[in-house]
């Protein structure tokens, strides 16, 4: 591999031909890389490319089948998180490793004091934490319970945890997936300070613009192999996307929709809050035929309440929901019957039943109707024919209609869900995070199908945390924050930064 030459003494981390197999799958195939002092490298790759596996090997959660790791010139014993921490590696996991019932300070101290010592040494820890917060611009209340913090604050705790242990190498796994643009910018600022202080950073992402903004080198993984290493200044997003996918990427050009009448109208709808998730606060919204309405916002700000409402799982406390073409549907079954297509947020938990076959999953919403059921008896032949048709039409790659759906990749699972609901010719399509966790190929496919549904006259509501997705696909955009809905913005009327301010709760008339 060609590596940009530099003094060998500057190399803080060296992976040498790391290979990891899970059964027949080779998750990492002889991956080698060098990380130098004060450098940010980006590890780019689609889901399943092997990024997280590689980092888990580095951090001792997995043991590599072949290859070795050197940190500051010394070999790192495999399969030992404690040794990785002691060697100066700090990991910021995508799914935070924090205990909700402990305070910020307690979470940070966890594991830093020998277990059999009879004191936590709170004062010294507090002072060190205060200094780190100051140096790296990471403000958070040390005595707050982690359970009460926002996602952005939790991430700061996760970073502080690594810094508190004097990490010299920070590894961040998809750190911006859950942040607003402003929070991401603050994170980048923190990382720049860290680099200035002599730390090295590995930044794992599949978002091209972040990769190019922060790193000096980009390493691209595909199907477990390192397929390219480029200096960031010598490349561009398009070239990186091609490296990542391994083929020419043509993003669909989105022609504006031809809006028709409002098919679904919410008037001043308020719903009860559910636990920590806020309810809707006098939300008015119109979903028009032939138009994609994008709903941006950090998750947990009332999106689930809105999607439950439209799915028929929730009734408004005050206000009204009106359908243009049918009586308002207050049960999921009535919603399906009225022509509301639901693509649920979590395809594993609510979209499918993992151990059911593709056929059973394909008729989950229509099993009680002809031809799948006659006189109270299932007609499995009809159901299976229908499923075969969906598999063909929607390009679901699978062994056949009778295997359990859990064997499918996320993308293929989502294609089957799309087929299940879109074949019914819906009036309204509720797409809640439809491409979360999918690779570029599947994303392009799902987006194409949503656009086709729009062009066929459906009103599409696209709920997403990904601003690029919202801005690329929507004809009109709303932002949700703490249960409130922003006014409607035409496509292109606001920049990402302006949308980010709305996401952070600014601009609402009743802003607290």
Partner 1 sequence: MNALFDILLTASFWAAAVRIASPLIFATMGELICERAGVLNLGIEGIMVIGAFSGWMAVYLGMGLWGGVFVAMLAGMLFGLLHATLTVPFGLSQHVVGLGITLLATSTSYFAYRLILPEVTSPPKIEPFQAVEVPYLVDIPLLGPALFAQTALTYAAFAVVALTVLILYRTPLGLAIRAAGESPNAVAAQGLSVTRLRMGAVIVGSGLMAVGGAFLTLSAFSSFFFEMVNGRGWICIALVVFGAWRPGKALLGALLFAGFDALQIRLQQTPIGQAVPYQVFLMAPYFLSILALILMSRRAQVPSALMVPFNKGER
Tell me how far, at minimum, the Cβ of 50 lies from partner 1, in Å.
15
- The answer to whether 273 contacts partner 1 (rule: CB under 8 A) is no
- The answer to whether 275 contacts partner 1 (rule: CB under 8 A) is no
Tell me how far, at minimum, the Cβ of 339 lies from partner 1, in Å.
38
Cα–Cα distance measured from residue 483 to residue 230, given in angstroms and rounded to the nearest whole number: 43
Are the C-beta atoms of residues 103 and 145 closer than 8 Å to each other?
yes
Are the C-beta atoms of residues 195 and 135 closer than 8 Å to each other?
no
Tell me how far, at minimum, the Cβ of 63 lies from partner 1, in Å.
9
Are the C-beta atoms of residues 363 and 386 closer than 8 Å to each other?
yes
Cα–Cα distance measured from residue 73 to residue 89, given in angstroms and rounded to the nearest whole number: 13
44, 45, 56, 244: which one binds partner 1 (CB under 8 A): 56
Comparing CB distances to partner 1, the nearer of 115 and 276 is 115
- The answer to whether 250 contacts partner 1 (rule: CB under 8 A) is no
Element (H, E) at 264: strand 262-270
- The answer to whether 425 contacts partner 1 (rule: CB under 8 A) is no
Tell me how far, at minimum, the Cβ of 113 lies from partner 1, in Å.
4
1, 4, 113, 231: which one binds partner 1 (CB under 8 A): 113
Tell me how far, at minimum, the Cβ of 353 lies from partner 1, in Å.
21
- The answer to whether 191 contacts partner 1 (rule: CB under 8 A) is no
**How many helices (DSSP H) and strands (DSSP E) are in the chain?**
16, 22
Comparing CB distances to partner 1, the nearer of 113 and 274 is 113
Tell me how far, at minimum, the Cβ of 429 lies from partner 1, in Å.
31
Question: How large is the C-alpha radius of gyration of the chain?
Answer: 25
Cα–Cα distance measured from residue 415 to residue 492, given in angstroms and rounded to the nearest whole number: 29
- The answer to whether 379 contacts partner 1 (rule: CB under 8 A) is no
- The answer to whether 410 contacts partner 1 (rule: CB under 8 A) is no
Comparing CB distances to partner 1, the nearer of 53 and 307 is 53
Cα–Cα distance measured from residue 140 to residue 133, given in angstroms and rounded to the nearest whole number: 8
Please return the burial class of 333, using the count of CB atoms within 10 Å of its CB with bins 0-12, 13-18 and 19+: exposed
Cα–Cα distance measured from residue 464 to residue 115, given in angstroms and rounded to the nearest whole number: 43
Cα–Cα distance measured from residue 186 to residue 162, given in angstroms and rounded to the nearest whole number: 17
Of 35-43, 89-97, 203-211, 445-453, which segment contacts partner 1 by CB under 8 A?
Answer: 89-97
28, 42, 107, 447: which one binds partner 1 (CB under 8 A): 107
Element (H, E) at 41: strand 40-44
CA distances from 283 to 373, 436, 455, 498 (A): 39, 25, 27, 21
Q: Using CB under 8 A, count the residues that bind partner 1.
A: 35
| Residue carrying the six token digits 């929901």 | 321
| Residue carrying the six token digits 């035929």 | 289
- The answer to whether 100 contacts partner 1 (rule: CB under 8 A) is yes
Show the tokens assigned to 295. 């709903």
- The answer to whether 116 contacts partner 1 (rule: CB under 8 A) is yes
Comparing CB distances to partner 1, the nearer of 349 and 381 is 349
Comparing CB distances to partner 1, the nearer of 98 and 149 is 98
Of 59-67, 227-235, 351-359, 363-371, which segment contacts partner 1 by CB under 8 A?
Answer: 59-67
Written in H, E and C, the secondary structure of 351-400 is HCCCCCEHHHHHCCCCCCCCCCEECCEECHHHHHHHHHHHHHHCCCCCCC
- The answer to whether 354 contacts partner 1 (rule: CB under 8 A) is no
Comparing CB distances to partner 1, the nearer of 93 and 420 is 93
7, 23, 95, 399: which one binds partner 1 (CB under 8 A): 95
Site string for partner 1, 14-53 (x = CB under 8 A): ----------------------------------------
Are the C-beta atoms of residues 94 and 173 closer than 8 Å to each other?
yes
Per CB under 8 A, contacts with partner 1 among 61-80 are 61-62, 80
> Which residues, at least 6 apart from 233, have a Cβ–Cβ distance to it below 8 Å?
216
Cα–Cα distance measured from residue 476 to residue 478, given in angstroms and rounded to the nearest whole number: 7
Element (H, E) at 284: strand 283-288
- The answer to whether 5 contacts partner 1 (rule: CB under 8 A) is no
Comparing CB distances to partner 1, the nearer of 164 and 394 is 164
Per CB under 8 A, contacts with partner 1 among 125-184 are 161
Nearest C-alpha neighbor of 473 from the set 288, 344, 293: 293
Of 81-89, 134-142, 392-400, 426-434, which segment contacts partner 1 by CB under 8 A?
Answer: 81-89
Nearest C-alpha neighbor of 402 from the set 461, 360, 346: 360
- The answer to whether 106 contacts partner 1 (rule: CB under 8 A) is yes
Are the C-beta atoms of residues 451 and 256 closer than 8 Å to each other?
no
Tell me how far, at minimum, the Cβ of 118 lies from partner 1, in Å.
6
Give the SS3 label for residue 125: helix
Comparing CB distances to partner 1, the nearer of 102 and 277 is 102
- The answer to whether 93 contacts partner 1 (rule: CB under 8 A) is yes
Comparing CB distances to partner 1, the nearer of 94 and 409 is 94
Comparing CB distances to partner 1, the nearer of 85 and 177 is 85
Q: Which residues of this protein are in contact with partner 1, per CB under 8 A?
A: 56, 59, 61-62, 80-86, 91, 93, 95, 97-102, 106-107, 109-120, 161
């Amino acid at each position: 591999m060609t590596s940009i030459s530099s003094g060998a003494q500057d190399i803080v981390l060296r992976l040498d031909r790391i290979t990891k197999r899970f059964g027949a799958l080779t998750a990492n195939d002889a991956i080698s890389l060098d990380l130098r002092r004060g450098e940010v490298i980006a590890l780019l790759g689609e889901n399943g490319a092997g990024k997280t596996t590689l980092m888990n090997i580095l951090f001792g959660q997995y043991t590599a089948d072949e290859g070795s790791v050197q940190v500051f010139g010394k070999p790192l014993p495999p399969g030992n998180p404690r040794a990785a921490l002691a060697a100066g590696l700090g990991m910021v996991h995508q799914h935070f490793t924090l205990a909700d019932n402990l305070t910020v300070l307690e979470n940070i101290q966890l594991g830093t004091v020998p277990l059999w010592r009879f004191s936590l040494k709170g004062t010294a820890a507090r002072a060190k934490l205060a200094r780190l917060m100051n140096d790296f611009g990471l403000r958070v209340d040390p005595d707050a319970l982690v359970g009460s913090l926002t996602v952005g604050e939790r991430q700061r705790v996760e970073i502080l945890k690594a810094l508190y242990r004097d990490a010299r190498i920070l590894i961040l796994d998809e750190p911006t997936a859950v942040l607003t643009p402003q929070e991401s910018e603050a994170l980048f600022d923190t990382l720049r300070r860290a680099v200035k202080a002599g730390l090295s950073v590995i930044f794992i992402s599949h978002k091209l613009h972040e990769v190019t903004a922060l790193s000096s080198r980009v390493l691209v993984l595909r199907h477990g192999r390192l397929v390219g290493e480029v200096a960031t200044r010598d490349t561009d997003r398009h070239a990186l996307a091609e490296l990542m996918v391994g083929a020419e990427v043509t993003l669909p050009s989105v022609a504006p929709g031809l809006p028709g009448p409002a098919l679904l109208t919410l008037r001043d709808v308020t719903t009860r809050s559910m636990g920590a998730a806020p309810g809707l606060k006098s939300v008015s919204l119109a979903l028009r035929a032939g138009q994609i309405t994008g709903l941006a916002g950090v998750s947990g700000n009332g999106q689930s309440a809105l999607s439950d409402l439209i799915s028929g799982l929730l009734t408004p406390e005050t206000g009204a929901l009106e359908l243009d073409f049918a009586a308002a549907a207050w049960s999921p079954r009535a919603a399906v019957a009225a022509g509301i297509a639901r693509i649920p947020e979590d395809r594993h938990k609510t979209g499918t039943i993992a151990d059911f076959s593709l056929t059973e999953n394909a008729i989950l919403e229509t099993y009680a109707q002809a031809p799948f059921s006659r006189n109270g008896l299932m007609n499995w032949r009809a159901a299976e024919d229908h499923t075969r048709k969906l598999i063909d039409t929607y390009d679901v790659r699978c062994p056949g209609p009778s295997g359990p759906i859990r064997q499918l990749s996320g993308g293929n699972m989502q294609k089957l869900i799309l087929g299940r609901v879109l074949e019914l010719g819906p009036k309204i399509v509720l797409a809640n995070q439809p491409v979360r966790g999918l690779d570029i190929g599947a994303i392009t496919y799902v987006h194409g199908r949503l656009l086709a549904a729009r062009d066929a006259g459906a009103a599409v509501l696209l709920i997403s945390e990904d601003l690029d997705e919202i801005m690329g696909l929507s004809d009109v955009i709303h932002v949700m924050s703490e249960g409130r809905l922003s006014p409607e913005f035409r496509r292109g009327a606001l920049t990402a930064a302006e949308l980010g301010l709305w996401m952070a709760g600014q601009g609402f008339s009743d802003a607290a």
